[in-house]
Amino acid sequence: MLDFIRRERIYIWMALFVIAVNLLLIGHPHKKSQEPASRKSISAQTFKNMGITENKVRLFFESRSLKSVFFKYSFMFGFFILMAGIVMNLIFLLGKKEIIPKGIPAGKPVLWGISDIVRIGVIVVFAGYMLSAISALAHFNADLNLRMILGTFFIDITAGAAILYFALVKYKEKLSSLGLGIFDFYKNVFSGITAYIFMLPVLITALILSMLILNVLGYKPPSQPVFDMFFEEKRSSVILFLAVFVSVLGPVIEEIFFRGFLYNAVKKRFGILSGALLSGALFSILHTNIVGFLPILILGILMAFLYETTGSLVASMSVHILHNSIIVCLVFFIKELLK
Indicate if the pLDDT at residue 102 is higher than 50.
yes
Band (pLDDT 50/70/90 cuts) for residue 32 is very low
Q: Does pTM top 0.85 for this prediction?
A: yes
What share of the chain in percent tops pLDDT 90? Answer: 58
Burial (Cβ within 10 Å: 0-12, 13-18, ≥19) of residue 57: middle
Q: Are 197 and 88 in contact (CB under 8 A)?
A: yes
Burial (Cβ within 10 Å: 0-12, 13-18, ≥19) of residue 183: exposed
Contact residues for 46 (Cβ-Cβ < 8 A; gap 6+): none
Q: Which of 232, 233, 227, 31 lies closest to 132 in space, CA to CA?
A: 31
What share of the chain in percent tops pLDDT 70? Answer: 90
Burial (Cβ within 10 Å: 0-12, 13-18, ≥19) of residue 20: exposed
Alpha carbon 32 to chain centroid distance? 28
Indicate if the pLDDT at residue 36 is higher than 50.
no
Indicate if the pLDDT at residue 37 is higher than 50.
no
Q: Are 179 and 261 in contact (CB under 8 A)?
A: no
Indicate if the pLDDT at residue 42 is higher than 90.
no
pLDDT of residue 150: 85
Tell me the C-alpha distance between 254 and 317, whole Å.
Answer: 9
Indicate if the pLDDT at residue 114 is higher than 90.
yes
How far is residue 238 from each of residues 139, 176, 230, 322, 326, measured CA to CA in Å? 21, 34, 9, 21, 19
Q: Over the chain, what is the mean pLDDT?
A: 87
How far is residue 151 from each of residues 22, 146, 257, 320, measured CA to CA in Å? 19, 8, 18, 21
pLDDT of residue 7: 87
Q: Are 104 and 305 in contact (CB under 8 A)?
A: no
Tell me the C-alpha distance between 202 and 297, whole Å.
Answer: 12
Domain ranges, ordered by start, for the chain: 65-101+110-338
Indicate if the pLDDT at residue 39 is higher than 80.
no
Band (pLDDT 50/70/90 cuts) for residue 85 is very high
